[in-house]
Amino acid sequence: MNKKSRQKQYIVVGLGRFGRAIAETLCQDGAEVLGVDRRMDVVERLRDELTQTIQMDAMDRRAGGAPHHCQGSRRIPRQDAGEAGRRPGFASGA
pLDDT of residue 64: 65
pLDDT of residue 57: 87
How far apart CA 76 and CA 86 sit, in angstroms, is 17
What is the enclosing helix (H) or strand (E) of 10?
strand 9-13
Per-residue pLDDT of the chain (94 residues; tens, 9 = 90+): 455 557 899 999 999 999 999 999 999 999 999 999 999 999 999 999 999 999 998 887 776 655 444 333 333 444 444 444 444 444 444 4
CA distances from 88 to 1, 36, 73, 85 (A): 16, 18, 24, 8
Rounded to the nearest angstrom, the gap between the alpha carbon of residue 7 and the centroid of all alpha carbons in its chain is 16
pLDDT of residue 7: 86
